[in-house]
Amino acid sequence: MKKLVEIKDVSKIYNPGENEVRALSHVNLTIGEGEFVAIIGQSGSGKSTLMNMLGCLDTPTSGKYFLHGQDVSHMSDDEQSDIRNREIGFIFQGFNLIPSLTALENVELPLIYRGVSKKERLRLANAALNSVGLEKRKTHKPSEMSGGQQQRVAIARAIAQAPPILLADEPTGNLDTHSTKEIIRIIKRLYHEGRTVIIITHDPGIAKQAKRIITISDGMIQSDIKNPEYKDEI
């Protein structure tokens, strides 16, 4: 398996000095292409910091982060933006859709920043929305949709430009049971289609859907196991 993500001795310290908070402490982690990983931890465990690190939203205090073998730990803001655009599809707990834009426009956004032509953009955005079953909601604004539907728009936005990594931060945290099942089903399907999926969660029920479970607490990796309960069906 080819290495996709390689984190080497990464630490993250907030407020350096007397009251410093060591959010991550000498973490080493490797994730290969096409893996399905859950990172589980309580709040304050450092999982959000790890997720920001993995998503190129933050830079480590020390240590190195290689993505596709490229060191991305000390890049400029714009270089990081570009990496996020090309390599990572985000799925957030709060959906993070832009309220003034329609579903289709929200999905188009990363493609606009990538400079994809209008025609190609519409094709990709429509395909992504179709694949999450939102053919009939394309012109709806987020406020006109249910939570589950909004999260499906967010997933469509994350996969529209086919990034190698899907990074989901508590993707079902704001959803009811029915919607949760649906979202998990979609995420599993995307894994089956060959994407690398990383879910960050505090919910063991969600974590056990993944093939590999990494437990984090106090800024350190406590365990990293193959999930014995993993079921390959969708």
Partner 1 sequence: MGKFGEYFKSAIKQIIGNGYRTLMTMLGIVIGIAAVIAVVALGNGMSEFVKSQLNDIAGNYGQLNINTSKTSERFTRDDIANLEEALPDIKGVSPDFTSYGKVTGRKGTFSASISGGAESLENYLSNGIVKGSYFNKQQVDSSQRVCVMLLDDAKKIFGTEDAVGMELDITVYGKTATYTVIGLRDHMNEMYTFLMEGQEYYAQIEMPYTALGADFDYDTEQFSSLLLFDDQQTLSDSVSKAENLLINAHGLRGTSALSAYSMADFADQLNQILGYAQSFLLLVSVISLVVGGIGVMNIMLVSVTERTREIGIRKSIGASTGAIMTQFLSEAAILTLLGGIVGIILGIIAAHLICTAIGFDVIITPTSVGGAALFSIMIGLFFGLYPARKAAKMKPIDALRL
Of 32, 34, 57, 68, which one interacts with partner 1 (CB under 8 A)? 57
Which of 99, 228 has the CB closer to partner 1?
Answer: 99
Residues between 149 and 178 that touch partner 1 (CB under 8 A): 157
Which of 85, 217 has the CB closer to partner 1?
Answer: 85
Q: x/- contact string, 111-150, with partner 1 (CB under 8 A)?
A: -xxxx-xx--------------------------------
d(CA 88, CA 36): 15
**Quick check: 78 binds partner 1 (CB under 8 A)?**
yes
Helix, strand and coil content of the chain, in percent to the nearest 5, comes to 35, 30, 35
Q: Is 103 exposed, middle or buried (0-12, 13-18, 19+ CB in 10 A)?
A: buried
Nearest to 98 by CA among 143, 137, 131: 143
Binding region for partner 1 (CB under 8 A) out of 75-83, 129-137, 139-147, 210-218: 75-83
CA torsion, ordered 115, 108, 57, 144, to nearest 10 deg: 160
Half-sphere exposure of 211 (CA within 13 A, CB side): 15
Of 4, 31, 46, 52, which one interacts with partner 1 (CB under 8 A)? 52
Q: Contact, 142 vs 178, CB < 8 A?
A: no
Contacting positions for partner 1 (CB under 8 A): 52, 55, 57-58, 77-78, 81-82, 84-86, 90, 92, 96-101, 109-110, 112-115, 117-118, 157
